[in-house]
Structure 1
Amino acid sequence: MSNIFYSESDQHILLRNPNVEKVTDRYISYHPDFKIRAVKEYLSGKKPRQIFIDNGFNLQLIGDDKPFVCIKRWRIIFKQRGEQGLREAGRSSKGIRLTGRESSIEDKLKKAEAKIKFLEAENELLKKIREKERGR
């Protein structure tokens, strides 16, 4: 996630751009048509900064690296799932980033195992704390 925070006035400025769907204090959600157009312009040889500038974005407001980061992410989704992937990609209702790819069963298993290991360690620590408190 970006370390840039958008003030209310910044958010109003950004929302005036037709390429922006939504803005919060932490992120900008871009219109899918802009994402598709930006990727196609990039693939035809245009630089990310120039694409954003030509589409009405102030790089001082959004951050100099934002064009590179966004277009890189959009290119990956476009390569994997085409235009439809860019139309669907975004954030879930829980704020989790949707990248246009689903986790494999192996990835889910690794995450679950890591979570179990963490919770077991947490339980052991709590047991030691309780034992120490009882000993006092």
Structure 2
Amino acid sequence: MSKILFNEHQQRLLEANLNVTSVSDRAIQYTAEFKIRAVKENQTGKGPKQIFEDNGFNLDIIGLKKAQSALNRWRKSFQTTGEQGFLEERRGKASTGRPKLENLSADKKLEKAEARIKYLEAELTLLKKLDELERQAKKKRF
């Protein structure tokens, strides 16, 4: 988490920027369009300082390190998911999460069921061994 804390005045200044969706006392949420534009500008050779200043940010408030680390995160995300990664939410309630069992084919359902049976059988075997060891330990005490 950031060591920089934004006061009320700084938060209002940052929220006035069209490239910002929201600001808390520690974090800034940027628009997807700004993230995409920033990554593309960075690929053409612009540095984080120039990109943020050209888009109306005061780096005295944000801090150059915060701008650099944000751009590094966005570049990684852009490489793995492309522009679409910024446009769709991948966390929280809006996340698609694990695939639903209803959407699986019959073969996949069977495969999952067999894997679960195998796991449960191994668990049962372990519990039986543990029970046997406990019984042996009780016999040795008496």
Normalising by the smaller structure, the TM-score range is 0.5 to 0.7
Range with greater deviation from structure 2 (53-62 or 63-72): 63-72
Equivalent position SS for 2:83: helix
**Deviation, structure 1 residue 87:** 2.0
Larger radius of gyration: 2
Q: Name the residue aligned to 2:83.
A: 83
TM-score of the pair, normalised by structure 2: 0.62
**Deviation, structure 1 residue 88:** 2.9
Map 1:34-45 → 2, pairs under 5 A: 34-45=34-45
Q: Name the residue aligned to 2:134.
A: none
Mark the CA change 1:33 to 1:62 in structure 2 (over 3 Å): closer, same or farther. Answer: same
Q: Quick one: which amino acid aligns to residue 15 of structure 1?
A: E
Q: Percent identity?
A: 49
Matches of 1:22 and 1:90, distance apart in 2: 18
Equivalent position SS for 1:17: coil
Map Cα deviations across residues 69-122 of structure 1 (whole Å, 9 max, x no partner).
Answer: 0110000000000001122358647xxxx9xxx9xxxxxxxxxxxxxxxxxxxx
Mark the CA change 1:64 to 1:43 in structure 2 (over 3 Å): closer, same or farther. Answer: same
Matches of 2:74 and 2:43, distance apart in 1: 12
Q: How many residues align?
A: 95
**Deviation, structure 1 residue 45:** 0.7
* Unaligned ranges ≥5, structure 1: 103-136
Q: Name the residue aligned to 1:8.
A: 8
Q: Quick one: which amino acid aligns to residue 60 of structure 2?
A: Q
**Deviation, structure 1 residue 67:** 1.7
Map 1:6-85 → 2, pairs under 5 A: 6-85=6-85
Matches of 2:71 and 2:90, distance apart in 1: 14
- What is the Cα-based RMSD across aligned positions, in Å? 2.0
Mark the CA change 1:60 to 1:73 in structure 2 (over 3 Å): closer, same or farther. Answer: same
Mark the CA change 1:63 to 1:43 in structure 2 (over 3 Å): closer, same or farther. Answer: same
Matches of 2:91 and 2:50, distance apart in 1: 26
**Deviation, structure 1 residue 26:** 1.2
TM-score of the pair, normalised by structure 1: 0.65
